Amino acid sequence: MKPMRHYCTYFDRNYLARGLVLHQSLEKHSEGDFRLYVLCLDEQTESVLKSLGKSTIIPVALRDVEAWDPDLLEAKANRSTVEYYFTLSPVLPLYVLEHFDCDLITYLDADLMFFSPPEAIFDELGDKSIFTTGHRFPQRLKDLEAYGRFNVQCQSFRKSDAGLACLHRWREQCLGWCYDRFEDGKFADQKYLDEWPGLYGEHLVISQHPGIGVAPWNVSAVQLKCDASVWMVGCDPLVFYHFHDLKFLGRRWLKTGLGQYHAPISSELRSLYSAYCNHIIRATKRVAVDRLSKHDSRFSHGWTRIFLNGIRQRDLMWR
């Protein structure tokens, strides 16, 4: 019998459908009971999640987190919305560890989808206190490590001295400076993770599983294939894929975000992205979200600019 697993994430109404797909993929592939704590970044998200009545989804109101950590309000006043969201990255796991009955919390970005059991994460973590994933940039993209060796997409923290020390230090750093730009060796919430191997050493696990952390920035360097409806990375199962920067343009066009990393849209990637988008569409209809993204079906200047950029980068898909 696998132990109860505890996950957390955050999103607003623009990522609501994606968050539901993340949850559905956990439902499908988890080998035991789990809880997904969702920090609801607006009232619509909170209302929809509560209406679902899912015991595996625990909505967490942003106002409650801000009341628990009032230092957040000062940060909220001096950065953009997305920068404030980044600031919340270390705060949410701390909140969950303090307010709920769990000794190990795993943060997941809302735009992940699991394709095989997440137990692979915990198998790697073992009895250590901190788990993180590297970007694993191919050689031609190594210069992007200036923005961070690690990605915040999937991290575990144990309620131990080392796990809590890591979260508290990261919280202080993000409260002090968390902006969507590179400055003085810092970048958003991400660059701070570069110091973790030196600070936490034997308490830290950096994932080596080929199927954990596959994303647009490294997918061109792996052998992705689907065999009898099972997705594989070489000889290993694909645990999750990070659909970073995917945009819906109108009702038929997708901008995959692959082009900026010079990853061609192979037949395998076309199939993978199509499957994910079908899940998004079904989730959107299920909760009656009125838009897939902020660019959905609006032929605005922003829509046109992104579409033309997609043509230039050769990362548009027609579905």
pLDDT 10s per residue in the chain (319 long)?
789 999 999 999 999 999 999 999 999 999 999 999 999 999 999 999 999 999 999 999 999 999 999 999 999 999 999 999 999 999 999 999 999 999 999 999 999 999 999 999 999 999 999 999 999 999 999 999 999 999 999 999 999 999 999 999 999 999 999 999 999 999 999 999 999 999 999 999 999 999 999 999 999 999 999 988 899 999 999 999 999 999 988 667 889 999 999 999 999 999 999 999 999 989 988 776 544 444 444 444 455 555 555 455 567 876 6
Residue 262 belongs to domain spanning = 245-318
Question: Does 236 map to a domain?
Answer: no
Helices 43-52 and 16-29, packing angle to 10 deg: 30
Query: What is the phi-psi region of residue 116: left when phi exceeds 0, alpha when psi lies from -120 to 50, beta otherwise?
Result: beta
263 and 146, same structural domain? no
Amino acid in the structure at residue 253: W
121 and 12, same structural domain? yes
User: 3-state DSSP call for residue 192?
Assistant: helix
291 and 150, same structural domain? no
Phi, psi (deg, nearest 5) at residue 135: -70, -30
177 and 46, same structural domain? yes
Q: What is the model's pLDDT at position 251? A: 67
Last residue of a domain, one of 206, 236, 266: 206
Cα distance between residue 79 and residue 88, in whole Å:
12
Largest CA distance in the chain: 54
280 and 146, same structural domain? no
278 and 187, same structural domain? no
Are the C-beta atoms of residues 158 and 132 closer than 8 Å to each other? no
Are the C-beta atoms of residues 291 and 230 closer than 8 Å to each other? no
Number of domains within the chain: 2
135 and 42, same structural domain? yes
Question: Does 97 map to a domain?
Answer: yes
103 and 18, same structural domain? yes
What's the burial of 128, exposed, middle or buried (CB within 10 Å: 0-12/13-18/19+)?
middle
Question: Does 239 map to a domain?
Answer: no
202 and 84, same structural domain? yes
